[in-house]
């Protein structure tokens, strides 16, 4: 009997297609489960429908309420192992033949070999092993240029006196009839109360086909990659994309293969068109961070996101977050970032980590709620990408498995790395008073609150010594306890 390759929304590109018959299901129940950013719902539906159109006669395409209606009782299904625990259970319950997962640089088998018997789980160790195994940016046994990592040269603040980097705009997709159909469906379902859409409707900004992802990659490499390294951590109020690639969503949809992205960037460097610090910085994001986070999702186990709350953070997410109401937020950095998420369903990694995550950490927001909020509100949000990034790295709810210390910082970091503070009613240097920066004061109040939990962490000894010396500690803590606006 001929098998049919059943593909999910994370498997929409060539990597997951071996040429036979395909099954693609647009199941509306998935969109009904949680509130979802309109741009994300649009992107996923657009990508599925574009793929169905591309595959033509080779695909069985169903637009239904649930997957079960289509797959129950069939014995001809084959799947590439999908990307979440629940999907993996489901395909096995449905009796599908399961092939090993694809779409990452390191396979699950290779990761299992690497991790076996290891006490220390550090991304940098993993990344170096990947480079050695694959030969990416290697010269024999040595890293190209003699260094593994150019972070020291990168991570620069934004250029002074500019509110943009003045790079050409990223490549933007042109919407077509499929997008118009998606938009009309979303309008109808929202009106009927069938979906809870959050965020603005606007032109689609992220690639929805393999060809579009290729265009986005090419223009990134031609016009933006060289500036990626130096400005990867910088933020400017008039430049929501900076020099970032906007490729996470198409990569997570399976539209473009990460190894192809890496090889394209490495070739551009080899041709002398891109400095090593930018090429290496970008490649590390993909075969380092992206793969690391993926493998940790399986390695740390299904209950990692629910079982960990080491800092005892139980505050519910505020309305300003759940409704993406940046206008109601006074802190300029947070207001601008949440507004950007409302508009695009995206922010680069520093606003995610050091503005949103840092705020949530300081204010004690529930890490699982924050995990689910990120999945719902970001175009590239998936169940596998959040636990290590949000519960582990950004909220330190695991007590230090993913990151050795909490990513908490005061307003000084945001002031150095952005132009937000100039337009803010708060002063990043002040911790007490009406204009005290909520990040600066919040940082000390956070340390005061979690001191019992982090006292044993050597890397927190210095900040805790600073807290002990703080002359106005009680005043700061009291002030932040009563802060009732964001
Ligand atoms: C709190 C928090 C939440 C995040 N949520 C997501 C998410 O929902 N989906 C997502 O893909 N990434 C997430 N990231 C990682 C990173 O912020 C995004 O991948 C990146 O901002 C996407 O934009 P870009 O494609 O322009 O990335 P670039 O800055 O151009 O980076 C290139 C690529 O590196 C990969 N990458 C880099 N860091 C990570 C990482 N920590 N985890 C996974 N991939 C990484 C992405 O695929 C990205 O496309 C999160 C990070 C943090 C700190
Ligand atoms: S002063 Fe504080 S709240 Fe205002 S933008 Fe700077 S860091 Fe953010």
- Looking up tokens 């390191």 gives 106
Report how far ligand 2's centroid is from the alpha carbon of 428 (Å).
6
Ligand 1: atom nearest CA of 375 is 8
Ligand 2 atom closest to the Cα of residue 425 is 4
Please give the model's pTM, rounded to 2 decimal places. 0.97
Query: From the first residue on, what is the mean pLDDT of each consecutive set of 10 residues in the chain (486 residues)?
Result: 94 97 96 94 98 98 96 97 98 98 98 93 96 97 95 91 92 98 97 96 97 98 96 96 98 98 98 96 98 97 95 97 98 98 98 98 98 98 97 94 93 98 97 97 98 94 96 97 93
Q: Is 158 in the pocket of ligand 2 (CB under 6 A)?
A: no
Instruction: Determine which residue's CA is closest to atom 15 belonging to ligand 1.
Output: 349
Calpha distance 216→219 (Å, rounded): 5
CA of 122 to the centre of ligand 1 (A): 18
Q: Report pLDDT for 151.
A: 87
Rounded CA-CA distance 372/240 in Å is 23
* Cα gap 443→437, rounded to integer Å: 10
Token pair listed for 427: 């002063």
Distance 78 CA to ligand 1 centre (A): 30
Residues in the chain: 486
- 479 within ligand 2 shell (Cβ under 6 A): no
- pLDDT for 343 equals 98
Contact criterion met (CB below 8 Å) for 39 and 379:
yes
CA of 440 to the centre of ligand 2 (A): 8
Q: Which ligand 2 atom is nearest residue 414's CA?
A: 7
C-beta of residue 371 within 8 angstroms of C-beta of residue 391: yes
Q: How many angstroms is it from 421 CA to the middle of ligand 2?
A: 5
Q: Using CA atoms, how far apart are residues 255 and 47, in angstroms rounded to an integer?
A: 9
Ligand of minimum distance to the alpha carbon of 355: 2
Residue with the smallest CA separation from ligand 2 atom 3 is 331
Closest by alpha carbon to 158, among 426, 421, 406?
421
Whether the CB of 410 sits within 6 Å of ligand 2: no
Give the Å distance between the CA of 410 and the centre of ligand 2. 9
Q: Which two tokens stand for residue 139?
A: 């010269």
The residue whose two tokens read 């964001």 is 486
36 CA distance to ligand 2 centroid (A)? 28
d(CA 87, CA 464): 43
From the CA of 220, the nearest ligand is: 1
- Rounded Cα distance between 486 and 484, Å, is 7
Q: How far is the CA of 455 from the centre of ligand 1 (A)?
A: 31
Q: Scanning the structure block, which residue is given the tokens 């014995």?
A: 75
Cβ atoms of 408 and 361 closer than 8 Å: yes
Gyration radius (Cα) of the chain, Å = 23
Nearest one of 98, 125, 97 to 111, comparing CA atoms: 125
Residue 248 Cα: closest atom of ligand 1: 49
Q: Which residues of 141-158 are buried (b: 16+ CB within 10 A; e: fewer)?
A: eebbeeebbbeebbbeeb
Q: Which ligand is nearest to the CA of 438?
A: 2
* Phi/psi of residue 460, nearest 5 degrees: -100, 5
| Cα gap 291→133, rounded to integer Å | 14
Residue 322 CA to residue 315 CA, distance in Å, equals: 13
The span from the CA of 482 to the CA of 434, in Å, is: 12
Other beta carbons within 10 angstroms of residue 200's beta carbon come to: 15
Ligand 1 residue neighbourhood (C-beta within 6 Å): 244-248, 251-252, 285-286, 289-290, 293, 348-349, 352-353, 357, 374, 378, 380-381, 385, 389-390, 393-394
Residue with tokens 């705009």: 169
Residue 427 zone, left/alpha/beta (φ > 0; ψ -120 to 50; rest): beta
Indicate whether residue 355 lines ligand 2 (CB < 6 A).
Answer: no
Would you state the torsion angle of the CA atoms of residues 477, 324, 243, 407, taken in this order, to the nearest 10 degrees? Answer: 30
**Beta-carbon count within 10 A of 175 CB:** 15
Q: Is the CB of 282 under 6 A from ligand 2?
A: no
Q: How far is the CA of 248 from the centre of ligand 1 (A)?
A: 6
Q: For position 120, what pLDDT does the model report?
A: 87
137 close to ligand 2 (CB < 6 Angstrom): no
């Amino acid at each position: 009997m001929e098998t049919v390759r059943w593909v999910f929304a994370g498997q929409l590109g060539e990597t997951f297609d071996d040429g036979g018959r395909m099954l693609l299901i647009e199941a509306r129940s998935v969109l009904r489960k949680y509130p979802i950013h309109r741009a994300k719902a649009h992107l996923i539906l657009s990508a599925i429908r574009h793929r169905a159109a591309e595959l033509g006669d080779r695909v069985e395409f169903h637009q239904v309420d649930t997957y079960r209606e289509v797959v129950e009782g069939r014995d001809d299904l084959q799947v590439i192992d999908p990307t979440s625990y629940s999907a993996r259970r489901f395909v096995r319950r449905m009796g599908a033949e399961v092939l090993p997962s694809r779409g990452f640089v390191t396979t699950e088998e290779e990761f299992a070999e690497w991790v076996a018997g290891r006490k220390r789980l550090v991304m940098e160790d993993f990344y170096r092993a990947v480079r050695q195994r694959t030969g990416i940016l290697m010269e024999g046994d040595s890293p190209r240029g003699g260094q593994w990592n150019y972070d020291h040269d990168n991570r620069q603040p934004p250029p002074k006196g500019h509110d943009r980097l003045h790079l050409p705009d990223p490549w933007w997709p042109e919407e077509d009839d499929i997008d118009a159909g998606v938009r009309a469906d979303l309008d109808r379902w929202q009106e009927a109360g069938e979906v809870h859409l959050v965020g603005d409707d606007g032109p689609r900004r992220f690639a929805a086909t393999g060809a579009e992802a290729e265009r986005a990659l090419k223009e990134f490499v031609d016009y933006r990659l060289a500036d990626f390294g130096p400005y990867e951590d910088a933020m400017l109020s008039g430049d929501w994309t900076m020099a970032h690639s906007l490729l996470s969503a198409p990569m997570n949809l399976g539209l473009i293969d990460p190894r192809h992205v890496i090889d394209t960037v490495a070739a551009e460097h080899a041709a002398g068109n891109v400095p090593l610090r930018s090429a290496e910085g970008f490649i590390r994001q993909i075969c380092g961070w992206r793969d690391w986070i993926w493998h940790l999702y399986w390695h740390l186990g299904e209950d990692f996101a629910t079982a960990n709350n080491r800092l005892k953070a139980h505050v519910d997410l505020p309305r300003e977050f759940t409704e993406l109401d940046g206008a109601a937020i006074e802190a300029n950095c947070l207001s601008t970032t949440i507004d950007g998420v409302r508009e695009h369903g995206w922010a680069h990694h520093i606003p995610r980590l050091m503005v949103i995550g840092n705020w949530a950490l300081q204010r004690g927001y529930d890490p699982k709620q924050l995990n689910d909020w990120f999945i719902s509100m970001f175009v590239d949000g998936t169940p596998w990408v959040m636990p290590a990034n949000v519960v582990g790295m950004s909220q330190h709810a695991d007590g230090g498995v993913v990151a050795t210390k909490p990513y908490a910082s005061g307003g000084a970091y945001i002031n150095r790395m952005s132009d937000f503070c100039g337009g803010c009613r708060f002063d990043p240097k002040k911790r007490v008073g009406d204009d005290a920066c909520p990040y600066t004061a919040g940082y000390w109040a956070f340390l005061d609150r979690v001191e019992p939990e982090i006292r044993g962490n050597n890397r927190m000894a210095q900040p805790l010594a600073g807290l002990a010396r703080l002359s106005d500690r009680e005043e700061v803590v009291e002030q932040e306890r009563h802060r009732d606006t964001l």
